Amino acid sequence: FMKEEVPVGISSIENSINSVSLYPNPSSGNSSLLIDAQKTQTVSFGITNSIGTLVNVQTVSVKEGLNFIPLETSQLSNGIYFIKDLSQTGSQAMKMVIAR
């Protein structure tokens, strides 16, 4: 048997992101990311649906400290989505549930 590790969060970009939180989750409207960054930088992330189709890409500048990033989710259908880090080092994802 092989042990498989499943990623559970958005990866750190060059280890310069302390934490990422998503709320509300599940969401009945728009959600927000709270990114705690160690330095000022540009962060890109994509939202994919449950079958892996990219439905939205967003690139934002974050400052050192806590950053509130609103996510436009009002046009997404009910279901499960994944927010993925699009940096060169990123391959992890955070699950987001839309339930209206």
CATH code for the domain in which residue 64 is found: 2.60.40.2550
Q: How many domains is the chain partitioned into structurally?
A: 1
List all residues 6 or more positions away from 61 whose beta carbon is below 8 Å from its beta carbon: 40, 41, 42, 43
Q: What is the pLDDT of residue 62?
A: 93
Q: Domain limits at 30?
A: 17-98
Query: Can you give the pLDDT of all 100 residues of the chain as single tens digits?
Result: 444 444 444 544 455 888 899 999 999 888 999 999 999 999 999 999 999 999 999 999 999 999 999 998 888 999 999 999 876 555 568 999 999 8
Look up the pTM and report it.
0.76
What is the DSSP-derived secondary structure letter of residue 16?
A: -
Tell me which H or E stretch contains 23: strand 17-23
